[in-house]
Amino acid sequence: MKKQVKLYNVIFPIWVLMFYPNPPVILLTLFGNLAIDALVLYLTLRALKIPERGPVMKTAWWRVWLSGFLSDVIGAAWLALGLFGSAWLDVALDAGNSSWFNDFAMAMTVNPFRHPLAVVWTAIGVAAAGVCIYFFDKRALKKCAGLDGRQRHIAALTMAIVTAPWVFFIPMYIG
């Protein structure tokens, strides 16, 4: 007899909308990320008292934007791995709807604060994306002649901390 697999209450969290192939959502996500990344980069350059911010912005804005978006995708892939991995383990071990796998998957989809492992898993995803942002942006900022090594480090670190995908923690449902 063939075993049937049923998935109940599979709800994707808000950050998955970033990848939904809907032109208004994609455009809003792309331009929102662009605006935030450019603003954080500009304010960081201003705080560092870089006199020639224009050439640095002209050279770096699209590089930090693309690297930030790629880093967000890496963090989201980590979250998806946890979600689908727990669903796979639930089915493979025939654990049923009352297992911790199911509780973890539900917490990952609606509110990571409902399960301790979901909070840790989400934090790892945000941290991984932040680390990627740091290294990608530091590399992207090497093309900017107006920045020295210390300034590139500070700018990349600021971008990593401020623009990490903190929205991964936003609950879809509180309860």
Residue 163 pLDDT > 50: yes
Pick from 142, 168, 170: nearest CA to 155: 142
Percent of the chain at pLDDT exceeding 70:
82
Extents of the domains making up the chain = 24-169
Query: pTM score, two decimals?
Result: 0.80
Angle subtended by helix axes 149-163 and 23-47, to nearest 10:
140
Q: Which two tokens stand for residue 77?
A: 């892939």
- The span from the CA of 59 to the CA of 149, in Å, is 16
**Band (24; pLDDT cuts 50, 70, 90):** confident
pLDDT (average), residues 1-9: 48
* Mean pLDDT of all residues belonging to the chain: 83
The Cα–Cα gap between 152 and 147 comes to 6
Structure token digits, residue 40? 């954080």
Residue 28, helix vs strand vs coil: helix
Summarised one tens digit per residue, pLDDT across range 84-103 is 888 787 777 776 666 777 78
DSSP string for residues in 50-119: -S-HHHHHHHHHHHHHHHHHHHHHHHHHHHHHHHHHHHHHHHHTT--TTSHHHHHHHHHHH-GGGSHHHH
Q: How much of the chain, in percent, has pLDDT values that exceed 90? A: 51
Using the predicted structure, report yes or no on whether residue 110 has a pLDDT greater than 50. Answer: yes
Cβ neighbour number for residue 83 with a 10 Å cutoff: 22
